Amino acid sequence: MTDDPYVVWHQHALDQAARESLMGHRGAVVWFTGLSGSGKSTLAGAVDVTLHQRGVHTFLLDGDNIRHGLCAGPNLLLEEHGEEFARRFGLGFAPMDREENIRRIGAVAQLMASAGLIVLTAFVSPYRRDRQRVRRWVAQHCGEEAFIEVFVDTPLEVCEQRDPKGLYKLARAGKLSHFTGIDDPYEPPESPELTVSGASLPPQQLAGQVVDYLQQRGIIPETT
C-alpha cells in the first residue's frame, strides 16, 4: 500500500512460477544472521559454491560489499554527490541507519527471489523487527516458504577471539561506536528456520546442513 495514488504496483506478464520453471528450482531468500565474526559470510560463501556446483542459480549479498554501493556511507557519497546528498542518503551504523540498511537489502533480495534466484544474504541484522519486516515483505511477494532465517550461533567470546577485522578491539577501546555485541545489542532470532553452530563445525559441514534443509523444504530438487 502507498499514500501516493500515482504509484501503483505493476504486474509483470511473467510471474515467479514461470521464472522458477526456467531455473529448475524455487526462488528464495536465505538470511544468515549472527554477530560479526560468527562465520556468516564464510558459511554463505560455502553454500553459494555448493549450490552453484549443483546447477542452482544463486547470488550472494554480503554486508561489506553492499556498503560500497547500495548502502554506502556518507564518506563514499560525498565526493560525487555532495555534502547534503551524502548526509541524507549515506548510511552509518546508528539504529536508524541499520534499519534502512536492512530495508534496502530486503527489497533487493525480494526482487531477486521473484526472478527465481536463491539469494544468500550475510548481514549482522541485529534487530528482530527489521528481520521480521523483510520476512513479511518476502512472504507477501514470494510466498511464506520463501524466507529462510539461518541463525549462525557463535558465542561472543569466540567472535572476539577471531576478530578478523580488528573491530572488537577498536570497540573495546572506545574507538568504534554502535558496535553490535559491545555497545549495541544483538537480538537473536526467536524461531529461525535453522540454527547452526559457527564455533563447532567447519563451514563446509555447516553448508551441508543448509543445503539439506533447502532440499527438505522443496526449494531445490534432491540430487539423483
Looking at residue 188, what is its pLDDT?
A: 96
Query: Cα 82 from chain centroid?
Result: 29
Q: Would 85 be classed as within a structural domain?
A: yes
Q: Would 8 be classed as within a structural domain?
A: no
Q: How many domains does the chain have?
A: 1
CB 19 within 8 A of CB 25: no
Enumerate the H helices of the chain as residue ranges: 16-23, 40-53, 63-66, 74-81, 83-89, 95-114, 128-142, 156-162, 167-172, 203-216
Looking at residue 45, what is its pLDDT?
A: 97
Q: Would 163 be classed as within a structural domain?
A: yes
Q: Would 138 be classed as within a structural domain?
A: yes
Q: What is the DSSP letter of 220?
A: S
Instruction: Provide the CATH number for the domain around residue 108.
Output: 3.40.50.300
Q: Would 101 be classed as within a structural domain?
A: yes
Q: Would 74 be classed as within a structural domain?
A: yes
Looking at residue 215, what is its pLDDT?
A: 96
pLDDT along the chain (224 residues), means of 10: 75 90 96 96 97 97 92 96 97 93 97 97 96 97 96 96 93 92 94 94 95 96 77
- Residue 191 sits in which domain range? 16-216
Looking at residue 2, what is its pLDDT?
A: 54
0.85 surpassed by pTM: yes
Q: Would 57 be classed as within a structural domain?
A: yes
Q: Would 133 be classed as within a structural domain?
A: yes
Catalytic positions, please? Answer: 125
